[in-house]
Structure 1
């Protein structure tokens, strides 16, 4: 099949009153920023590079714990034992020991608010098919692939430095978005600023997210820090009807992480406005059809198309339709046939799937005869075309 380019039909407005987008200059070694409301990627810096995620990988543990609660494998009131292995974790901790039996709800807060390595481990061993954290880490990797997180591999439940324990910033963005949309009843846990588990360890009762409580809409999600990874944050903020998800890593201090995160949130909300470009079901182009009762089929959007564009001045959105064609019949309405590729200066390109807007049945005898004749004529014309040497003579 050949790769075809087609200009979108005039129904898609391509010119908008907007400024040229300014590329955001971040100090992070890798970053991913997405407007969740429209799906527009605002910043992509080394976003697909697998990197040490530190405690940001605890988001995968919480996601799988939420899944287990939702399907009945785990209860928020269930009390889980603490193994020696979990107790022995250093770093951020709930200060659990082997005499404790801890409610799942407390463990979730211990992971989310206190970043407890021990709490993550307890949940992992409870959900592991073989009862070990290593077994749970293998589950994490498999589930990540199912969620489309192709650059994530887990060696433990909490981000403790380990060979091969890696996540990309885009994967963390995907995971953050899934936590928000799939488990809205649990998501408020990420905005809790304090959790005092037993009243005996006042030094570790505060959420490490530096943006909570600043009044800029931040309500999650998870910080991370190791010597290898540097300082990172997977965060989200909501202002009005818009929600932004951002992930950064590789900062050299907690202060730099706080400053860079706030800069990103302010930039994402202040510099962009939402623009509705086309409606779901709207035909944007036509694809050629091979051996069908019709010679073309419409390419349409599945959902309404909205993008973020810079909010002042003038700019032009460039768009093209790309598909493999001609498309062989039969074709069913709703089959994905191509993509709408949208480009705006200094922003990553956006790709939106396009589907057939009608059924096209396979042609009968007359269609096959007509197609064979067209192919034969095309070949004859190609054979009769003068060569370069003949033209020169």
Structure 2
């Protein structure tokens, strides 16, 4: 039997109960560690969390110059009719001349189904082309068990599905590739369009210290879900809860999971960003070794109160064949923290290594006899 806390004491922090969040996942973007996982690879319908994929693709296309935020667009009449007042909306008029900036704010802040469809059509020429690009981008970043059938997550007979693990991959890519766009578009408390102001229903932003997004989701089929993020003292956590029976259950689970994540672990920096961590042997190159760099640094989350025993080992298939480009991923650092699952951090080449010339190849051959 567990004793009740003394009067005035708070209950100790704990991950959310399965009854509140059948699917729950907590990932430390800074270290690369999974801190909590329940049904992490179970497929589920993300509902409006789908719009995070639309947001990420929009960020990517902005970076490429394929979307200009100030550019205006008028939805086709049939598109406007299809999404007029369907679920969450930004109330686009039938003759709207709306900027992509407003459309994307409508998507990220008030979960606008009409805004997501209009953005998709305006950017790609058709919703179908946009959805194809969503799936291609998901595959590119490693979302191995996800598929999208719409730009907004509206019910589509199960064609749209994802996993908690894949959603953390998506959030990590968004945060690392597009930090300034993330700050501009995600986590706003409200959005006003066409003189209509609507609130953001994010359950942690403004409530949990350091929280700044990302996206809720709900349909009768999917239940209540949330993909969220928060940062404290340079430490960035991403969390997923899904399948909650009620909004209040989801909201409670989200807050409990993120607060527990910050409280239950102490983070240690092992190497700063861009530090040279090790070397890899090179075959057929102008150099016999290449330095291995950790672009985002190496960090370890240690269970609070633990002894902090950490072991490191480098894993790669070697020797690595030249030529090698600086920044090319060629190895992984395996980090072992006592009492936790091992995790891997990518290591990239710290410099270019060209192919060896005739003299260098001969010298390498001679050196090989003595190695």
Q: TM-score, normalised by structure 1?
A: 0.73
Look up the SS of the partner of 1:92 in the other structure: coil
Which of the numbers 104, 107, 127 marks the counterpart of 2:123? Answer: 127
Aligned match of 2:101: 105
Aligned match of 2:270: 277
Q: CA deviation at 1:323?
A: 3.9
Return the alpha-carbon distance in structure 2 between the equivalents of residues 83 and 186 of structure 1: 31
Q: TM-score, normalised by structure 2?
A: 0.77
Q: Deviations over 1:328-350 (max 9, x none)?
A: 77686977654332233554421
Q: Deviations over 1:255-280 (max 9, x none)?
A: 11111111111112112222122462
Look up the SS of the partner of 2:191 in the other structure: coil
Which of the numbers 242, 247, 251 marks the counterpart of 2:240? Answer: 247
**Alpha carbons of structure 1 residues 93 and 347: separation in structure 2 relative to 1, 3 Å:** farther
Which of the numbers 144, 153, 163 marks the counterpart of 1:168? Answer: 163
Q: Deviations over 1:171-192 (max 9, x none)?
A: 3223223333415145233222
Return the alpha-carbon distance in structure 2 between the equivalents of residues 348 and 92 of structure 1: 40
The two structures, once aligned, show a CA RMSD in angstroms of 3.6
Q: Deviations over 1:189-227 (max 9, x none)?
A: 322222232346x7xx11111122215221111101122
Consecutive unaligned residues of structure 1, counting only runs of 5 or more, are 1-21, 375-393
**Alpha carbons of structure 1 residues 365 and 82: separation in structure 2 relative to 1, 3 Å:** closer
Larger RCO, structures 1/2 (Cα 8 Å, 6+ apart)? 1
Aligned match of 1:88: 82
Please state if 1:144 is matched with 2:138: yes
For 1:208-219, what aligned pairs fall within 5 Å after superposition?
A: 208-219=201-212
Look up the SS of the partner of 1:196 in the other structure: strand
> More displaced, 328-337 or 119-128?
328-337
Return the alpha-carbon distance in structure 2 between the equivalents of residues 293 and 118 of structure 1: 56
**Alpha carbons of structure 1 residues 348 and 118: separation in structure 2 relative to 1, 3 Å:** farther
Task: Please say if residues 300 and 357 of structure 1, whose CA atoms lie closer than 8 Å, have aligned partners that are also in contact.
Answer: yes
Q: CA deviation at 1:233?
A: 0.8
Aligned match of 1:179: 174
Please state if 1:154 is matched with 2:148: yes
Look up the SS of the partner of 1:244 in the other structure: strand
Return the alpha-carbon distance in structure 2 between the equivalents of residues 121 and 290 of structure 1: 51
Q: CA deviation at 1:42?
A: 1.9
**Alpha carbons of structure 1 residues 120 and 277: separation in structure 2 relative to 1, 3 Å:** same
Q: Deviations over 1:11-63 (max 9, x none)?
A: xxxxxxxxxxx995652333332222333332333334443111011012122
Aligned match of 1:116: 112
Q: CA deviation at 1:140?
A: 0.9
Number of residue pairs the alignment of both structures matches: 342
Task: Please say if residues 58 and 67 of structure 2, whose CA atoms lie closer than 8 Å, have aligned partners that are also in contact.
Answer: no
**Alpha carbons of structure 1 residues 237 and 87: separation in structure 2 relative to 1, 3 Å:** farther
**Alpha carbons of structure 1 residues 137 and 356: separation in structure 2 relative to 1, 3 Å:** closer
Aligned match of 2:302: 309
Q: CA deviation at 1:111?
A: 1.1
Look up the SS of the partner of 1:312 in the other structure: coil
**Alpha carbons of structure 1 residues 83 and 187: separation in structure 2 relative to 1, 3 Å:** farther
Q: Deviations over 1:261-306 (max 9, x none)?
A: 111111121122221224622338x87x889999x96885544422
Return the alpha-carbon distance in structure 1 between the equivalents of residues 43 and 246 of structure 2: 21
Return the alpha-carbon distance in structure 1 between the equivalents of residues 200 and 368 of structure 2: 72
Task: Please say if residues 47 and 153 of structure 2, whose CA atoms lie closer than 8 Å, have aligned partners that are also in contact.
Answer: yes
> More displaced, 62-71 or 138-147?
62-71
Aligned match of 1:42: 35
Look up the SS of the partner of 1:282 in the other structure: strand
